[in-house]
Amino acid sequence: MKKILAINGGKKVRRKKFPSYNTIGKEEKRAVLKVLNSGVLSQYLGVWGKDFYGGEEVRTLEKEWAAHFHVKHAIAVNSATSGLFAATGAIGIGPGDEVIVSPYTMSASVMPPLIYGAVPVFADIEQEYFCLDPASVEQRITERTKAIIVVDLFGQPYDVERINKIAKKHNLILIEDASQAPGAAYQGKFAGTLGDIGIFSLNYHKHIHTGEGGMVVTDNDELADRVRLIRNHAESIVEAKGVKNLTNMVGFNFRMTEIEAAIARCQLKKLKSLLKSRINDIEYLTKRLETIEGLRPPRVRPGCTHSFYVHPILYDQRVTGVPRDRFIDAVKAELTPTRGRESWGPLISCGYVKPLYLLPLFQKRIAIGANGYPFTAPLYYGNVTYKKGICPVVEQLYEYSLFYHDLAKPPVTKKDLDDIAKAFVKVSRHVKELR
Ligand SMILES: *Cc1c(COP(=O)(O)O)cnc(C)c1O
C-alpha cells in the first residue's frame, strides 16, 4: 500500500520555510542611530560618582522597566546569566551554603551558587507545570540551605503560594529566574517580582531582546545596591561609597551598553502586544492539538498568565503506540526549517534539556579548579547527591514524554499555525505507518 507520511516518502504538509524571528522595527533603528550619533556608546566608569550608574539610556531604561513591572528597582546588565550571578552574590551566598535549584532549565540558572563556592541541590519539578515542586523543595532543605532559585519555565509562573510559604518558614531567599516569562503573572503580579529578586533575559530568543542583555528587579534597596556594585567593579567602589558589608563585593563588568539600552526601551513598549499575539497564537494551536489522541498541550496554573516562551506538549506513548521521538521525527518530516536556522531543521525538540545534575560537571564533581571545589570545600559539611534517579519526574519528561516547538514566534501567520497543526493531525491519523 502507498505510504502517506512524508517520513515514508509521502508528500510534505508544507514546502515554504517558516519566517525568521524578528521583532526589530523602525523605532529601534532610530534609537540606535541616536546613540551612535552621540558618540557615547557606554557612559559607565568603574569609580564612585555619577557615571558609576551608566549613561542616559541605561538609567532611563531602568526607570521605565521598574515602572512597567511595578517594582522599586530595575538594574540593567549584559545578560540574564550575569544578572543571576549578581543576584546570588548580592544575597551573600558563600562556601558551605546550599542553594536549591531546578534540574529542568537553562544551565545558567544553576551555575551561580558554584561561582560563589556554594553547592546546588536539585529538587524535582511538577508533572503538570514543569516548575519546582514545593514538596520536593521542602525535602531538600537542610541547615545549610540559604536560597532557592525558582524558574518560571516556558513562561509559566512557579507555585508562588506554596514556595513563598516554604521560603518564609525556613528563612530562605528566593531568586526568580523569569528569563522566559516577561509579562507572565500570578494573580496580577508580574513574574520576576514574585520572589525577593528576579532576573529577565534580553537575548535574541526571548520575547523582547537587545541581542544580548538582562534586567534584575527587586523591591529591596540593599539588594539593589549590592547588585549595582557587583555589576560594576564593587571592590574599587566600596571605600568611597562607604559600604560596610564587604561580603561578595568582588566586582565584574556586567554593564549594558547605551545601544542595547536604547533598543530595550523600544522593545519594552512592544512587550504587551507581542505577548498578546503570542498567547493568542498558542491558544489557537492548543485548540487544534488537544483533539489529537496522546498529545496534551500545556495547562496554565490557576490564577496565572503564561507567557509561552515555547509551546511545551506532553506525549503519551501508551495512547499512540509509537515512541515520542519517532512520532516527532514524522511530524518534522512534514514541516520545514525556519529561515536563518536551517541547520536545525523544523524547530521541534524532544525532551528540552537533559536533567542538569547529569552534566559532567556534577557527575565528575569538577567545577572550580581541578580538585572538586566546592563539593570538597572544607566549609561544606553536606553530602549532596547527583545520582540518576534523584528527580524522577524530570527524567521521565526528558526521556519519554515532553516535546516543544519554537515555531509560533513573530512574524508567524495563521497559515503557518495551520500548517503546524496539520502536520500533527496528519501524523496522528496515519500513526499506524510508524508502528
Ligand atoms: C535564556 C535563559 C537564561 C540566560 O539568559 P542570557 O541572557 O542568555 O544569559 C537563563 N535562564 C533561563 C531560564 C533562560 O531561558
- With a 6 Å cutoff on the Cβ, whether 102 touches ligand 1 is no
The minimum-distance atom of ligand 1 relative to the CA of 213 is 7
- With a 6 Å cutoff on the Cβ, whether 106 touches ligand 1 is yes
- With a 6 Å cutoff on the Cβ, whether 179 touches ligand 1 is yes
Would the pTM count as exceeding 0.95?
A: yes
Mutate to test the pocket of ligand 1, among 179, 215, 310 (most ligand atoms within 8 A of CB): 179
The minimum-distance atom of ligand 1 relative to the CA of 206 is 1
Q: How far apart are CA 148 and CA 125, in angstroms?
A: 13
Q: Which residues of 276-286 are buried (b: 16+ CB within 10 A; e: fewer)?
A: eebbebbeebb
Instruction: Please give the pLDDT value at position 1.
Output: 73
Distance 294 CA to ligand 1 centre (A): 31
Mutate to test the pocket of ligand 1, among 177, 212, 349 (most ligand atoms within 8 A of CB): 177
- With a 6 Å cutoff on the Cβ, whether 78 touches ligand 1 is no
- The residue among 43, 78, 75 whose CA lies nearest residue 227 is 75
Instruction: Please give the pLDDT value at position 314.
Output: 97
Q: CA gyration radius for the chain?
A: 23
The segments of the chain whose pLDDT lies below 50 read: none
Please state whether the peptide bond connecting residue 411 to the residue before it is cis, i.e. omega within 30 degrees of 0: yes
Instruction: Please give the pLDDT value at position 329.
Output: 98
Q: How far apart are CA 432 and CA 320, in angstroms?
A: 9
CB 132 within 8 A of CB 150: yes
- With a 6 Å cutoff on the Cβ, whether 79 touches ligand 1 is yes
- With a 6 Å cutoff on the Cβ, whether 108 touches ligand 1 is yes
Q: How far apart are CA 297 and CA 300, in angstroms?
A: 10
- With a 6 Å cutoff on the Cβ, whether 214 touches ligand 1 is yes
CB 223 within 8 A of CB 196: yes
Distance 40 CA to ligand 1 centre (A): 28
- With a 6 Å cutoff on the Cβ, whether 395 touches ligand 1 is no
Measured CA to CA in angstroms, residue 416 lies from 10, 23, 411, 412 at distances of: 20, 17, 10, 6
Distance of CA 339 to the CA centre of its chain: 23
CATH numbers and ranges of domains, the chain: 26-267 (3.40.640.10)
Instruction: Please give the pLDDT value at position 154.
Output: 98
Distance 80 CA to ligand 1 centre (A): 5
Q: How far apart are CA 220 and CA 272, in angstroms?
A: 26
Q: How far apart are CA 8 and CA 2, in angstroms?
A: 9
Distance 149 CA to ligand 1 centre (A): 13
Mean pLDDT, the chain, whole residue set = 97
- The residue among 214, 210, 230 whose CA lies nearest residue 222 is 230
Q: How far apart are CA 343 and CA 337, in angstroms?
A: 8
Instruction: Please give the pLDDT value at position 232.
Output: 98
Q: DSSP label at 343?
A: G
- With a 6 Å cutoff on the Cβ, whether 201 touches ligand 1 is yes
Q: DSSP label at 338?
A: B
Instruction: Using the structure block, give the residue that is written with the C-alpha cell 563588568.
Output: 253
- With a 6 Å cutoff on the Cβ, whether 180 touches ligand 1 is yes
Distance 6 CA to ligand 1 centre (A): 35
Backbone angles phi, psi at 367, to 5 degrees: -120, -80
- Identify the helix (H) or strand (E) that includes residue 148: strand 145-151
